Amino acid sequence: MSIHNVLVVNAGSSSLKFMLFDMVSEKMLAKGQVERIGIGRSLFSYSTEGFSEKQVPCEAPDHTSAVQLACNALIAPEKGGCLKALSDIDAVGHRIVHGGEKYSTPVLLTEEAQAEIVKLIPLAPLHNPASLQGVKGCEHVLPGVPHVGIFDTAFHQTMPEESYLYGLPRVLHEKLGVRKYGFHGTSHKFVTQRAAEVLGKPVETVNLVTCHLGNGSSITAVKDGKCWDTSMGMTPLAGVMMGTRSGDFDPAIVLYLLKNGYTAEAIDKLINKESGVLALGGTGSSDMRDLCAARERGESAAQLAMARLVHSYAMYVGGYVAQLGHVDAIVMTGGIGENSWETREALVKAISGLGVTLDVEVNRMCRGSEATISGSDSAIPVMVLPTNEELMIARETFTLLSK
């Protein structure tokens, strides 16, 4: 099957982001998003070569109408005329959060595959239904086009049992699927492949610690090009501290709070939406830029929050380096990893016991571009590699359908 143009769709419960790629050149041809789907006052943003519009009011009562808006824009001559006709879209790649133990690779989204994703809804009650709404919307607007699912959990399915099992009775894994799954897999895979290219080594020979640091963050140990362990768990709450998520904490605290009058819903909100940088930083914001500015002004809460955040990163990086033995590179990516030189500087300082050093100037200059920020005497190279999850989804879609 000849695949040229791939549309990448990332559907949330009330939003739908899309990007169109020419897979011959891997060039991004257009991108956009529909916000506030199904909740009124919907907004549409779109850009392609020579055209851009931002947050224009639109009608998007459901995901199908959102896909229709996206497709109308792609073929509208007055909006840059990116495509001549919708028949120029050869395939759609869908980001799907949870593939459970079933999916370790991309899959053609047949009726059967979609039924399997429905079965995984208990593991991702907010995300998988939204992804499926995006798939249904695209099937409606683009009939006859192959749809491929790419799972955030897939890259992590190579974890050995000693990485993914919790210290809990095995029956919980067997009966309820309680285990570590990991997330951000598409990003960890993208930077793993890119790091191998930069290092000039075949991907199946690289050992890395990849740090996807953004509003949500996860750190992955990559052994021989495959995931060996990762910081997020059964849900994206576990691991390092994040913008509004607590990261790891003593699970018995949940019981303590329940006994002290908190409801399960209140605890859910507390640990997912009201914790992390937002809770500790004292700025009323979960945004790293606000935290760094407050820290620069000498605000003590911001200094503490930054120290706590970096401490949690260093715990994982250090633990993974120790267990991997040889590490070809520590990679930083995501909004914070790519842009926040302050956080990178603090992290490299925190892991200096590993013999890692920083080129302070190169690190300060690096904003959203590829760079090796470690010093020439560093025991392990430290790289900044911008991630591109959408391109990775387009590549995986292309590869599956080109077989």
- Which residues in this chain contact ligand AMP in the complex, by CB under 6 A? 214-215, 243, 287-289, 292, 334-336, 339-340
Least Cβ distance, residue 215 to ligand AMP (angstroms): 4
Q: Give whichever of 33 and 65 is closer to ligand AMP, judged by the CB atom.
A: 33
Q: Give whichever of 124 and 288 is closer to ligand AMP, judged by the CB atom.
A: 288
Least Cβ distance, residue 8 to ligand AMP (angstroms): 16
Least Cβ distance, residue 386 to ligand AMP (angstroms): 10
Q: Give whichever of 157 and 217 is closer to ligand AMP, judged by the CB atom.
A: 217
Q: In what order do the strands lie in the sheet with 382-384?
A: 226-230, 217-223, 208-213, 329-333, 382-384, 371-372
Q: Give whichever of 207 and 286 is closer to ligand AMP, judged by the CB atom.
A: 286
Q: Give whichever of 215 and 352 is closer to ligand AMP, judged by the CB atom.
A: 215
Least Cβ distance, residue 326 to ligand AMP (angstroms): 29
Q: How far apart are CA 220 and CA 185, in angstroms?
A: 9
Cβ neighbours of 259 (radius 10 Å): 8
Check: CB of residue 264 under 8 Å from CB of residue 243. Answer: no
Q: How far apart are CA 127 and CA 27, in angstroms?
A: 28
Query: In angstroms, how far is CA 323 from the centroid of its own chain?
Result: 24
Residue of closest CB approach to ligand AMP: 335
**Is 152 a residue of the active site?**
yes
Q: State in Å, rounded, how far the first CA of the chain is from the last one.
A: 8
Check: CB of residue 167 under 8 Å from CB of residue 178. Answer: no
Of the candidates 152, 229, 328, 359, the residue annotated as catalytic is: 152
Least Cβ distance, residue 214 to ligand AMP (angstroms): 2
Backbone angles phi, psi at 378, to 5 degrees: -65, 140
Q: Which residues belong to the active site?
A: 152
